Structure 1
């Protein structure tokens, strides 16, 4: 689940979270290490991340690197490097373990009619605007 999800001051959804990326080799002690990358998603992508990402869920994230800075409470300049997500693919992981018949972990928007994802399963209506339609 994204660490932080809110509407920005101008009403735009933003989600921030960290992903762990395992290194391909072990260290000298034989332990597998990981790098932790900060991610920021905006607008509809933030909504999707808030709905579908959970700890342990695999995801492929495409985006651009962004470096910014701010002054903290002590007045020191802090630099932050993060990935601004432009595309997120929800892969296997915990949901796939919960539903072993699903071939893609319930990836919404995968284009497969056998994805295991049912947007109507909770019985609530879905808001679809004209900008969501491809035609």
Structure 2
């Protein structure tokens, strides 16, 4: 039996998606996502925010780059991935990311209409549309 690696998040983008292109024109976008929870501690309401590094590949990255912006509310499904890299001083570092498999834009329709002009996806309103990554994890270049 194999394991399950599934992450579901609803949160706000901490900044606009950062799009880049790798060898062969493969698109990848990344951004931080904030999730918050509120709890009572000693009779006081406390809010705790957790930051998640989101990564999207290929077509999903392209759509995210067009429609997602800092502050927007989004539902994301994906998987947890930890990778290593060397920093500028040659020191090995580790980072944990959510590799998104699909996302749904949440909020009011007007949240996705810059300056009152409607953005269309070819399916109608962007609000509530779900976008899927049609690649498997084996297609990722890392």
TM-score band by shorter chain is: 0.5 to 0.7
Over the residues paired in the alignment, what is the CA RMSD in angstroms?
3.0
| 1:22 lines up with 2:36 in the alignment | yes
Q: Is there any run of 5+ residues in structure 2 with no aligned partner, and where?
A: 1-15, 128-142
Tell me how far apart the structure 2 counterparts of residues 66 and 49 of structure 1 sit (CA, whole Å). Answer: 19
Determine whether 1:69 maps to 2:79. Answer: no
Higher relative contact order (CA 8 A, sep 6+): 2
The TM-score normalised by the length of structure 2 is 0.64
* 1:107 CA displacement: 8.6
Name 1:120's counterpart in structure 2: none
Q: Counterpart in 2 of 1:82?
A: 97
**How many residues of Structure 1 are paired with residues of Structure 2 in the alignment?**
108
Shift, 1:93, TM fit: 5.6
User: For residues 100 and 126 of structure 2, what CA distance do their matches in structure 1 show?
Assistant: 25
Q: Say which SS state the counterpart of residue 65 (structure 1) adopts.
A: strand
The higher radius of gyration belongs to 1
Greater share of strand: 2
CA distance, structure 2, for counterparts of residue 98 and residue 27 of structure 1: 39
Unaligned runs of 5+ in 1: 100-105, 118-135
Label 1:14 to 1:26 Cα distance change in 2 as closer, same or farther (>3 A): farther
SS at match of 1:30: strand
Instruction: Find the residue that maps to 2:60 and give its secondary structure.
Output: helix
* Native 8 Å contact 1:23 1:34 kept in 2: yes
Q: Who is 1:32 aligned against?
A: 47
Provide TM-score, normalisation by structure 1: 0.67
